[in-house]
Every structure is written in C-alpha cells, then in structure tokens.
Structure 1
C-alpha cells in the first residue's frame, strides 16, 4: 500500500510538471531540451563528471539548454556569447544563489559569501572580506608568509631530491596552500596545528565542497519528503552531516584558540578582526552577530583558499610533465631571467617570467578549478540568445566546455600556452571565453590572493628543480582522468622525482 501510494504521488507530480511544461512552452520560447525520462528527467545523463556530460548534451541540443534534474529545471550555458549575456548583460537579474540543502548546512544557514543569496547581508560580508583580507594592500602585506612557506617547501623537496624518491605533488600542493591559509587566515602554523589531520586535508576539503554543492536528492526531488528519504537511505545525509561536523570542529578549535587570552600572535588575522567586530556590534547588527557568522566566512576562506591554488598548481605541473619540451622552455626562461644563483624566490620575481603566465592561462582554459562555476538563480525573467529564462530558474555556466569550444580555440584539447602570445584574452572576468573565476557581481573575491599564491608556488618548483618521472614511466603514461563534482582533481595523484639544480 505504501509503495503504491508513493508511486501514485510521483506519477501525479510528474504529470503536473509535464503539463506545466507544455503550458509554458506555448507561452515562452524556452531553450531546447534533450529527451527526458519521467520523474528523473535528465538525471541519468549527468554522470560522475557533470561538466563533461553536460558538454556532450549541449553539443547535440544547444549551447543554451534546458535540462531537468529530477523535478528541478536547470538552464545550462555552454557558449561564450550566452555566458556574457548571463554574467554581464543580465548579471543583476541572475546573481543570486539557489538555496541548496548542502550549502545551507555547510555555510551555517547561508552565513558565507559564496553560496549566500544576493542581498544586503551578502553585500556587507563581501565588502568586509574585500577590505580585511582580499584588498591589494592586505594581499601584499602577507607576502612574507607566502614566501616563507614556499621556501619551507623547497627545503622539504630538496630532502626528497637527495635519495631521488618520488613526491606526491597532489598532496604537496594541498599542504602548501593549507600552510598559507592557516597562517594568513587562522594565525596558526599548519605543520604544528593539532586541530587537523594534515595527511587528510585534501580529503576534508573535497568532502566539504561535495557536501556544499554536490547533487543531493533533497534538492532534486523537493516533494513530499521523497528527496530526504532517499538521502537517508543512500547515506547522503550522513556524509553531509559528517563533513559539517569535521569542519565545525576545526573552526571552533581555531576560534577557541583566538579567544584564549594567553595566545601569542605575530599579526592580527581575519578571525581576530571578526571577533572584534562581533564584540563591538549590537544584536541587531547583521554583519557578525554570532560565532556562526564567523564560521560561515571561515568556510569560504578554508575551502576555496586551499583548493583553487592547489588544483591549479597540480594541473599545471601535470600538463608540463606530459609535455617535456614545454617544461624545459618555461624553466629555461625562468632561470635565464632570474639567474642561476638565487637562494630564495620573492613575489617581485613573478612579473619577470611572462611565459609562466601563458602556462597559467592555458591551465585555466583546460582545467578551470570550478568547471560549472557556482550555480546561479534568476530573480527576474530574462532572455539569453533569444530564449526565455523565467524567474527562480537555476543556471549553470559550463566554463570547462567554453574553454574547449573548437569555435574559439584551435586544437582545443592540446595544451599550448603559446596560443595566448599577443592575445588580449585574460582570466579576470572580462573575457567570457576564459572564466576560471567567474564574472560579474559573484566573481571569486579571492582571485588576487589565489593568483599570487600559485604563481609563487609554481615559480619555486620550476626554478629550483628539474622533474623526472618515476622509473618505468614515460610522459605518455601520465593520465588526466578526473574526479569530483564541484571542483575537479586528478584522479591518480601526480608523482614526480625532484632533482635540485639551483
């Protein structure tokens, strides 16, 4: 009886959806859709790598495409022109975020800036973090920390170079970025912290991100508790709660440390600033009323601060290892321009090596850290490429597909940094064929601090070391198989042997 009743409810709801769909199609010029199954829509076609699955669907259906993920209609954007209309022309009308179950949980009920819906509270938090952490003056003031952590990394890699042992660069890059985030944002040494399992920091970051923006049945089937039931039965609810508890314990430990009057510090970090603001505000002030408001912002700093830089460095080194001639070319330029006797790389050296900038651009094109960007939601009716997109419609911009569009790029699957020589195309949100950080009001606020971090990290690795493959491997054996949903990691860790040369 219960199963029959559930099926009847599902069939009834599905019928209403399809009737509504036909009515709207007679009224509006909706984007084309690929064939769908009842109830699940196109969910079966998404797969483990949504950016690739949606690209394949768009190639058959259109670069502005309407798919249904369960009961939820989603407009997928896969062209430069359509992305410009969404992110620039109609930015104000579609710069909010959908209220997803995972992002609500991980962000302490939308007290972050990445997933908080657009409004006055979001504006206040964005302005606050821009002033206290992401402005150019603040970014420059923490340059010594980035330089010290990169110098420490060089020393550790030099120890591995002595016995010619392979290094897991995937973990190495997460440790480097975590070390910088812990010192700049948390006022702690990552290496000395007892609040986190250093060997599993990459796993914690991915658990948090997948919980925050992964596909959760409660979001896709928000009818009669069906989604929640499936989440319970599938273990998704438990995974979400486990990720929340791990992150919450970390942030509470860091905050408790800052509240300790005996704590020693070498600079006032963002947590000190947030605690000061919280203590100075009244209960009616909206910026930093509670500890949960602090934890919400720490979620952004921790997850995005570690992940973006680590992934960019990992994919850049992966592509260079697969292309030995390009590896040699960028290293020759770096060593020629900086000389062969530097004991330490500084941030002043970054602007002296233009070919490295080309490598980073090409890495962003092939491997944007967030291939579908963060989801948006329309606040008003808009038109994109002549198609109607109604209010409350979820939008995904497939930056990964745009970066591999053969109409925009010659031999798009090839890693070729020289395609950017004399090209005006940049990655800072003004050129819609290259969108690693997004664009418009919701562009990544930490772009500047992220750029300087992985530029400095790559510069150190390419200046001080040559890189060999482990015995028995050739560059053709390095795969680029991906894993992940929100952000994409190399499925098989990148392991190379460092050879100290400078």
Structure 2
C-alpha cells in the first residue's frame, strides 16, 4: 500500500509541476504575441477553472448560461493552463463555423468520444481536418447517404416502421377497456437501431440485430465512465484498473459481435467477383471494404472498418432514437399539437390509407415544424464536438491563437431569449412562415434547419452529413405513429433531462395507445 501511495503522489506531483510551468510560460507567450483571450471568471493557480467545471454537460450548460450573462457570448475557461473558448451566440458561432469554415474545421489532438468509442482507430467525427477525413466523409456522403442509396433502402425504413406500428397495435389491443400504459422508448429505440444496423451490415436476422443493438447501446451509455482514458490515458489505466479491464472487455465483445458481419460482407463481395449470382444491396460496410485513403495505399484495416461501421450505427441510431422520444413526448404532453398534426396529415393522406408515404412528407409542413421545435429545445448534445482553428483568428474582437479548443453551446443558442420569445415554450408555429402567390392565396411552409438561428447539427465543413436523412426518418416514423394512433398521457409528462451519452429524458414517457379507426 505504501509503494502504491508513493507512486500516486509522485505522479500527481509531476503532473502539477508540469501544469505550473505550462501556465507560467504559456501566459508569457500569449502576452508577448498580444493574444487577448475572451473574458472569464478569475482562475485559480495551477488548476485554472477545474473547480468550476461540473460532471455533466447539462450542469455545464447552466454554468455557461450564467457566465455568458456576466462575461458575454464568448468566454474562456482554463483547464489547468489549457484555454477552452465557449461560444453561446448564433451570429458568432455562424461566423466561426461558416465564414471561417476552412480555418475552423480541425479537431483537438484527442477528442474523448472518438478516442473511447473508436479505440483510436479511424472515424469521421474525431478525425483531424485533412486527407483521411475528406476521403471518409466523401465516401459516406456519396455512397451511404447519396439520394440513390437512400432510395434503395426505402424498403428498410418501411419495414422498421411497420414492425414498430405492429408492436404498438398489439399493445393497443391489450389495453382496450383498460388504463394501461406503454413505455415508448423501447419501441422507438429498436426501430431506429434496426434500420441503421440493416444499412450497415445488411439483413443479418432479428437475433443478430438485437445482439449488435445491445453491445452498441451499452457501450454508448458506458462512455462517461471510460472517458478518463482519453483525458488521462496513463494515469487512468493505473488508478482505474478495474474500469480499464471493463473497457477492454467491451472492446473485445464488440469485436466478437461486429467482425463476423464485416467478414460476411467481405465474403459476399468475393463471391460476386468470381461470378456467383448474389443479389444484395450495397451496405455502408461494402463501401468501406472498397475504400482507399490514397492511391496505392491499400484498403482500410479490419479494425478501421469496424470503427467506422460502429460510428455509423451509433451516430445515426442513437441520435434518431433520442430525438424520436423527445418528439413523441411533446405530442403526448400537448394534445392540441397532436390533433393539429393529425388534421394536417388527414388533408394529405387519403382516408383508409395504411401508410403515410415518404413522398407525402413534403406536403406536411407542420410535421417539420414540430421536429424543428424539438431540436431547438432539446438538441442531441448540449455542445458540438470541439473544434480547433488551424491558424490565428479573430472572434468577436478577440484574438484566438492557433490550435485553441473552441466549443459551440448549441443548447444555449437554441434557448437564447434574445432570439426566441419564451424559449422554453413548445410552439411549433414559430417555425412556420406564411406564403402567397400571384392569385393572392397562400399557405404556410417551413424551411430547412439551416434557415433558423440554431445549430443542432453544426454548420460549415464539419456539419453533420446525415442530418437530412435523420430528419427524413423522424418525419416518416412520427407521421405514421400519429396517423395510426392517438397518444394519451397516463401521468404528467416529465420533460426533465439527464445525460446518457446524449441528452435524454430523465423519466421516459409513458402513454396510452389508442388505435385510430381510419376507414
């Protein structure tokens, strides 16, 4: 025990001495260069503002909101000697992300989410701005998320939707004459993950889908415990030995579950090459197996394909499922909004139709408004993945030196009372604009998310490449749930939040499901 204590004290002493020297010399360096960082609360020696930083991003949002009122929409917090710049204003964030897009497209050397979930292998979200990132993103956009590719997977979206509808119909029939309640989260979560797993590995069967869904979701919600290995890799492994063992066990289990599906796709591609008749759709994994980062460099390693395919499932399914639950929670809580949405769908879809088709969605503007209003109040993350600037730049009158970590407070921007009247009021109508034509008649329409002063998916070169597809899935699923069922609250809908990788409902919504007698 004494030897262990000596080692820990020695490591801590070395760490703090390093921080002290970094603080002294970095301060002199910044002063000599004339850098003027944005303001912030007075830091403590050595630790900076570590004593202020809370454990959860939800608490951090409250802290930044309060600090912004005092210090302005651009402020600095020090983690030891390392400055973190936070932006909580849409115009300033837009200037950084869009007008200075190329300068601002880089990532810090270590992005904890990327480090932990990809096991330091290739991914898109955390890769630095450069050739590898451009090739990986181009492949995602031109293959998996290309309109032609998305159209080929319309059957998968329909199948996931129908499976979900049937599960709710069974619940509805069980509830007739009873005041029972259904927990929506399990059904919505399963629908989203099933869809993205199918797009990633093909039709692998229900049991395999459940297995992949379980390991991916469990890994996500365990991320907070494992993030210490990104921030303090050597010290973390030493201090949290049992946690490190659990992390490596997760990686092993993920490999054992995902890799057979990747190798099955590889085998299928080889059979196609030798002339066997194999009819199958192109999955995201298929595009990765063909990919070369640069000419002559060879294909991606198996571990990189695993990392990228895992990222695709997590980024798509977890975000979609989370937003899906928030949208349904608000529709349950506010029957007026649900009734108005059903009335608008009824004007577009023929009575007796079993499905709201994807081509119908463009004629249901109120549906888009409902989803946008949820994204405004409850973006999936409180802040975007951190950015760094590749050269010195000016933000709102402050000189930000090269390689500074900058975070955009998306949740604060969406709730900015100077931009949004009564920002915590759920009012989808605020997202709609009146239109008119030459005949003097008109209607209402809703723009794209980029038309509004909020950034749930980021902006510029690092904007989420799948946001349009995510919006399509949400609209399609929500429209069909409202078309087929009336959703009634069985108790007070609690809109409290908690952090579970993304910002989710603290108390998942329950509702009574009443099948509509559409003829």
- Please indicate the TM-score interval, normalised by the length of the shorter structure: 0.7 to 0.9
Q: 1:320 aligns with which of 319, 331, 341?
A: 331
Cα–Cα, structure 1 residues 236 and 39, in superposed 2: closer, same or farther, change >3 Å? Answer: farther
Provide the rounded CA distance (Å) in 1 between the counterparts of 2:300 and 2:87. Answer: 38
- Between the two proteins, the alignment pairs up a number of residues equal to 485
Q: Is the contact made by 2:202 and 2:283 (CA closer than 8 Å) also made in structure 1? A: yes
Q: CA deviation at 1:159?
A: 0.3
1:493 equivalent in structure 2: 508
Task: Show CA shifts across 1:365-421 (max 9, x none).
Answer: 001112201111121111110112111211110111000001110001111111112
Tell me whether 1:46 sits opposite 2:54 in the alignment.
yes
Gaps of 5+ in 1: none
| SS of residue paired to 1:174 | helix
Please say which of residues 170-179 and 241-250 is displaced more in the overlay: 241-250
Q: CA deviation at 1:193?
A: 1.6
2:17 equivalent in structure 1: 12
Q: Is the contact made by 1:218 and 1:226 (CA closer than 8 Å) also made in structure 2? A: no
Q: Is the contact made by 2:288 and 2:300 (CA closer than 8 Å) also made in structure 1? A: no
Q: With structure 2 as the length reference, what TM-score do the two structures score?
A: 0.85
| SS of residue paired to 1:31 | coil
Tell me whether 1:59 sits opposite 2:73 in the alignment.
no
Cα–Cα, structure 1 residues 153 and 195, in superposed 2: closer, same or farther, change >3 Å? Answer: closer
1:280-429 matched pairs, under 5 angstroms: 284-285=296-297, 288-422=299-433, 426-429=447-450
Gaps of 5+ in 2: 1-5, 273-277, 435-444
Provide the rounded CA distance (Å) in 2 between the counterparts of 1:4 and 1:293. Answer: 38
Tell me whether 1:178 sits opposite 2:198 in the alignment.
no
| SS of residue paired to 1:488 | strand
Larger Rg: 2
Tell me whether 1:140 sits opposite 2:151 in the alignment.
yes
Provide the rounded CA distance (Å) in 1 between the counterparts of 2:141 and 2:472. Answer: 16
Q: CA deviation at 1:463?
A: 0.8
1:458 equivalent in structure 2: 478
Task: Show CA shifts across 1:21-44 (max 9, x none).
Answer: 542256221111223344443334
Q: 1:254 aligns with which of 229, 250, 261?
A: 261
Q: Is the contact made by 2:85 and 2:404 (CA closer than 8 Å) also made in structure 1? A: yes
Q: CA deviation at 1:46?
A: 2.6
1:245 equivalent in structure 2: 252
1:112 equivalent in structure 2: 123
Q: Is the contact made by 1:429 and 1:443 (CA closer than 8 Å) also made in structure 2? A: no
Task: Show CA shifts across 1:193-217 (max 9, x none).
Answer: 2671656764344335x57xx8536
Q: CA deviation at 1:478?
A: 1.6
Q: Is the contact made by 2:156 and 2:198 (CA closer than 8 Å) also made in structure 1? A: yes
1:211-290 matched pairs, under 5 angstroms: 215-216=227-228, 218-219=230-231, 225-226=234-235, 229-230=238-239, 232=240, 237-238=244-245, 240-260=247-267, 266-277=280-291, 284-285=296-297, 288-290=299-301
| SS of residue paired to 1:91 | coil
Tell me whether 1:478 sits opposite 2:478 in the alignment.
no
Cα–Cα, structure 1 residues 194 and 114, in superposed 2: closer, same or farther, change >3 Å? Answer: closer
Please say which of residues 254-263 and 407-416 is displaced more in the overlay: 254-263
Q: CA deviation at 1:360?
A: 0.9
Q: Is the contact made by 1:158 and 1:500 (CA closer than 8 Å) also made in structure 2? A: yes
